[in-house]
Structures are given as C-alpha cells and as structure tokens.
Structure 1
Amino acid sequence: MTLKSLTSISFSCFLVAVFSIQGEAKTTFEITEKDYPPRLANTFSSDRALNKSEPKNLQAQLTAAAQGNYMTLTPTSKANARGNPLYHLNLYVNGQLLKTYTSVSGRYNTQDRDRHRSGTEAPLPDGRYQVAKVPIPGIIAEAGDRFLPIQPLFQTGRSALGIHYDPSFEKKNGEDGTSGCIAVTNRDTLTELLNYVRTYQPKYLEVQIR
C-alpha cells in the first residue's frame, strides 16, 4: 500500500469521525421527551404534574394554618354503658386534627330538653365558645378538681359552662354525665387536654352536636 493510499484512508476515517460526532451532537440537541423510553417519559410527566400540584398543596396548607388552633364537639352516634350519648372532643393545631377525646354532655334522660334554658341539665347549645386559657378549681364534686370555663359567643340562657372530667362516668350512682358541661371520661385525659390548652391556646370551641 502506497503512502498516498494510507493518507487517503486516514483522511476518510477523519471525515467519518467528524461527521459522526457532529451527527451525535445534533441528535443530542434535538432529543425530546418522545425520544425517551416510556418509563423515562412517564417520569417527565409525573414531574410536571407534581410541579403543577405544588401551588394547590401550598394553598391548602396556608388555609389550614389560617384556621389556627381550635376545638370542636361532634356527635358519634354511640352511647356509654348508662345510655348517655358520647361526643367527640376534637383538638386542632393549625387546622390539623391533633387528638380526639370521648366525652359526654348532659345526661341520658336530658338530651332532648331545651338546651338554651338554665336548669334543664341538657347538653350545652350548639355554637361557638371562647375558651379560658387556664382552669379554675372545681367547686362541686361532680366537676372534678379542675374546671376549664367556656363562654358562649351567642345569646343563650345557659351559663357557668366548662370542660372537666366526669368522676361518675358509667357508674351506677345516677350521676353519670353532666349538668350541661363537656366532660371527658377520666382525670388523665383532662390533664392532656389542659396541656393542649396551655400550649396552643385554642381560639374557640365549636359545638355542633344536633
């Protein structure tokens, strides 16, 4: 093989290499999502969907945070061993449910009495209540040793309402339940509840049991 032939072959190889590199470079710049295998293409689509949903998730978080800390009282459709209806006392932090406690309000035979009239021992009326920041000592045995006052933010004939624990819960002494206050089922639960109030200072209590 002559020197001229070798030179020609080398130059041809060089041109092939250059064109190959240029072709690859061009292909690299022209690659789109459709050029990827289905699995990778799906990854791109998922990333875009996630990015689109982020503002909605953020908005939901901001909305929940704006609601702040609060409590609600809601029905359960259940009753205790004495036939007294049970309610859920729900604790929220930044709009997110933190804890739920079983509670009672009124007695088994006072549930249908006028909830706005004093002396009926009916459950407290539906509506919004202001919650005290600290408890006071219970003044009667059935209110337990600590009593957290709540104040109706609406017109009603009921007063002296609060949250405490029921020392007679499910006992056969005729005292199961309350005279209208909200009562949790035991002393330890009340301690947890008061810790929540002290820590998070709920803005209000919303009662919706009817």
Structure 2
Amino acid sequence: MRLRNKPWAVKLVDEHPESVLQDPNPEVKIDWENRFADFSRPLEVEIGSGKGQFITTLAQQHPDRNYVAIELQTTAAGIILRTKLEKKLDNLQILRGDAISIASFFAENSVDVLYLNFSDPWPKTRHEKRRLTYKDFLKNYQTILKPTGHLEFKTDNSGLFSYSLMSLNNFGMVFDFVSVDLHHENEEIVTKNVETEYEHKFASKGNPIYALHAHFK
C-alpha cells in the first residue's frame, strides 16, 4: 500500500545517509562492513518493511544481530528511520531500493535470514513475475543466503500462499514450518512471533495468517 508523502520523512532520510542507503548503484558493491557497528553479527533482511514495526522490533529484541530493512517508498523509509533513531538501533540499516536488485545488494552467502512479510500478492496472472516468491526472485535469494540460511514468509492472502508453496516446492526448497493459521499454533510459536502492522490489522479482524519457513537444499 502506497503511503501519503510526508515531507518530514523525506527530509529526515536525506539528513541521515549513514542510516539510509538510497537507490544504490547495482554495479557498486555496498560496504556493509562500515555501515554496521559490528559486522561479525548474523545478518537478517526484510523485503518490503512498510512502517517497520516488524524489523525494528527484531532489532531491539536482538542487539547481537544485524538487520537491513529494504523499502521502496521514501516515506516508509523515513518512518522506519525515525524509530531507529528514537530507539538507538545501531544494528539496523535501511535500504531504499527495489528488491529486484537484491542479488547486487549483498555478497553471495552473506545473509542468515530473509523475511517476506505481507508482500503484494499481484493476483493477476500477467503479473506473476512481480511476486516475491516467483522463481527468479528465489534464484536471487539462493545466491545471497548462507548455506545454513533460510526464508520466512507470512501473508493473509490465501492465493499468494498457495502460489508460494507451489513455487518454492518446484524450486526444490525444503519446508521447515508451514501454518495456515499462525496465531492459533502452539503457545511457543505464537509467543515467538513478531507481528507486522498489517498482520495485527488482519488478525484482529479474525483473518487467518499463513506462514512458512523454508531453506534451499
């Protein structure tokens, strides 16, 4: 969902290039080592972070890990940045760019966990290639994830969930966890789950949340 433009957010992003990398050149390697206080920590990435409730919560809960929020909208990036600054999250970086270029954003075998939360379902068949679980995206994820890394996916859209199960299976991925009603799993799983803004909205209406965790062979 496109957010209404907020001039303060655009201004804030422009004022903090040390925290927000804007439209990176795909031909130039990103120097992540100098963008984090401690680059030796595990690296986790969320594609399409929205207002950042999920990724900022993780960064706050796990100061021993590094996080990158990939978000195309400048206003959304500004909202994430405001939270990052308020909570002093030195383990969070924001990349304002298109996930289609994700293989150029990170080195091979460098990412531990990749999160896809409530991605645009692109329901029309002609838009299949834009879905973040389409095979071309999966190839890029396989390139940047470590051999021990994995993908975590959540959505409220049953059609996108069914498509994603099929796409990941056809790509030869191994499923570690699958749920058609995440918020009614056992207590341990529910307690560990970190909600996104959309997730809270949809779940509060009684909509089931679909989820899966998978890794490449």
Q: Same fold (TM over 0.5)?
A: no
TM-score normalised to structure 1 length: 0.25
TM-score normalised to structure 2 length: 0.24
Larger Rg: 1
